[in-house]
Chains A and B, each alone.
Chain A
Amino acid sequence: MSVLQEIFQSSTRILPEWVLFFGILAACLALAFTKEGYKLPAYVFAFTVILYVYSLIISASQVTVQGESLYQGLLHLDKRALLIKQLGGIAAIVFLVHARLFSYKLPGEVYVLTLFVLFGISFLSMTTHFLTAYVSLELISLASYALVASGKMKENFEAGIKYLIFGATASAIMLFGISLFYGLSHSLDFSSAAFAESLARNPTGPVQVISFMVLGGFLFKIAAAPFHHWVPDVYESTSTPVISFLSFAPKAAGFIFISRMVAADYTNLNYTLALVIVLSLVVGNFAALWQNNFKRLLGYSGIAQSGFILTGLITGNNTDVYGTFFYLVIYLPITMGSFFLADFIRTKGGTLDIPSMAGLGKKYPLLGVNSLVILISLVGLPPTAGFLAKLVVFSSLADAAATSSGYLLYGLLVFGLFNAAISLYYYLRPAYMMIIRDPAAKNTGFSYDLFITLILSWFSFTLIYLFVKPDFISEWVSGVF
Chain B
Amino acid sequence: MESGILSSLILLPLLGSLLIVILPKAYKVFYKWICLITQILLLINVTTILGLFDRTKSEYQFIEHSEWFRLSLGSKSILSIDYILGVDGLSISLVLLSSIVFLVAAVSSFKITYREKTYFSLFLLLTASVFGCFLAVDFFLFFVFFEFMLLPMYFLIGIWGGENRAFASLKFFIYTFSGSVLILVVMICMVISNQDEFFTSEYARLVYSFDFRTLKDSTNLIDSSILSIKNPVTIFGLPARDVMFLLLLVGFGIKMPVVPFHTWLPDAHVEAPTPISVVLAGILLKIGGYGILRVAYEILPDATVKYAVLIGALGLVSIIYGALNALNQTDLKKMIAYSSVSHMGFVFLGISAFNSIGFNGAMFQMFSHGILSSMLFLVAGVIYERTHNRNIDAFQGLAKKMPVYTLLVAVAFFGSLGLPSLSGFIGEFLTLHGAFQSDHLPKLIPVLGILGIVLSAIYFLRTFQRMFFGEFHTRDEYRMLLKDLSKTEIFMLGSLAVLTILTGVWPSLIFRYINSGLTEILK
Contact B206 A410 (CB under 8 A): no
| A 400-426 binary contact with B (CB < 8 Å = 1; else 0) | 011100010010011001101100110
- In the bound complex, residues from chain B placing their C-beta under 8 Å from that of A413 are 185, 188-189
Known: A474-B71, A478-B72. Is A401-B147 also a contact (CB below 8 A)?
Answer: no
| A 444-481 binary contact with B (CB < 8 Å = 1; else 0) | 00000000000000000000000001110010011001
Known: A395-B188, A401-B226, A421-B178. Is A474-B148 also a contact (CB below 8 A)?
Answer: no
Contact B70 A432 (CB under 8 A): no
Interface assignment of B419: CB less than 8 Å from any CB of chain A: no
Report the minimum CB–CB distance from A325 to chain B (whole Å).
10
Distance, CA A395 to CA B170, complexed state (A)? 28
Contact B173 A469 (CB under 8 A): no
Distance, CA A320 to CA B206, complexed state (A)? 13
Interface assignment of A430: CB less than 8 Å from any CB of chain B: no
Contact of B70 among A382, A435, A474 (CB under 8 A): A474
Contact of A318 among B77, B189, B247 (CB under 8 A): B77
**How many inter-chain residue pairs (CB < 8 Å) link A and B?**
129
Contact B173 A428 (CB under 8 A): yes
| B 171-212 binary contact with A (CB < 8 Å = 1; else 0) | 001100110011011001101110000000000001010000
- In the bound complex, residues from chain B placing their C-beta under 8 Å from that of A432 are 158, 166, 170
Interface assignment of B66: CB less than 8 Å from any CB of chain A: no
Contact B76 A318 (CB under 8 A): yes
Contact of B189 among A376, A398, A403, A470 (CB under 8 A): A398
Interface assignment of B73: CB less than 8 Å from any CB of chain A: yes
Contact B74 A321 (CB under 8 A): yes
Q: In chain B, residues 210-228, which have Cβ atoms closer than 8 Å to a Cβ of chain A?
A: 224-226
Distance, CA A471 to CA B68, complexed state (A)? 9
Contact of B69 among A376, A394, A471 (CB under 8 A): A471
Known: A383-B144, A432-B166. Is A420-B192 also a contact (CB below 8 A)?
Answer: no
- In this complex, what residue of B is CB-closest to A315? B74
* Chain B residues bordering chain A, tally (CB within 8 A): 47
- In the bound complex, residues from chain A placing their C-beta under 8 Å from that of B173 are 424, 428
- In this complex, what residue of B is CB-closest to A421? B178
- In the bound complex, residues from chain A placing their C-beta under 8 Å from that of B158 are 432, 435-436
Contact of B73 among A323, A362, A421 (CB under 8 A): A323
Question: What is the interface of chain A mostly: helix, strand, loop, or mixed?
Answer: helix
- In this complex, what residue of B is CB-closest to A379? B177
Contact A417 B184 (CB under 8 A): yes
Interface assignment of A343: CB less than 8 Å from any CB of chain B: no
Distance, CA A59 to CA B185, complexed state (A)? 41
- In the bound complex, residues from chain B placing their C-beta under 8 Å from that of A474 are 69-72
- In the bound complex, residues from chain B placing their C-beta under 8 Å from that of A391 are 71, 79, 184, 188
Report the minimum CB–CB distance from B326 to chain A (whole Å).
29
Contact B74 A436 (CB under 8 A): no
Interface assignment of A396: CB less than 8 Å from any CB of chain B: yes
Contact of B174 among A388, A394, A425, A470 (CB under 8 A): A425
Distance, CA A315 to CA B75, complexed state (A)? 12
Report the minimum CB–CB distance from A466 to chain B (whole Å).
10
The 3 closest A-B pairs by CB, nearest first: A320-B74, A322-B74, A382-B144
- 27 example contacts (A-B, Cβ-Cβ < 8 A) are as follows A315-B74, A317-B76, A317-B224, A318-B206, A320-B76, A326-B71, A381-B148, A381-B150, A383-B144, A391-B71, A391-B188, A392-B79, A394-B185, A394-B188, A398-B226, A402-B226, A414-B185, A417-B184, A421-B174, A432-B166, A436-B155, A469-B69, A474-B70, A474-B72, A478-B74, A478-B75, A481-B74
Residues of A within 8 A of B (CB): 315, 317-323, 326, 362, 365, 376, 381-383, 387-388, 391-392, 394-396, 398-399, 401-403, 407, 410, 413-414, 417-418, 420-421, 424-425, 428, 432, 435-436, 469-471, 474, 477-478, 481
Residues of B within 8 A of A (CB): 69-77, 79, 115, 118, 143-144, 147-148, 150-151, 154-155, 158-159, 166, 169-170, 173-174, 177-178, 181-182, 184-185, 188-189, 191-193, 206, 208, 224-226, 233, 235-236, 247
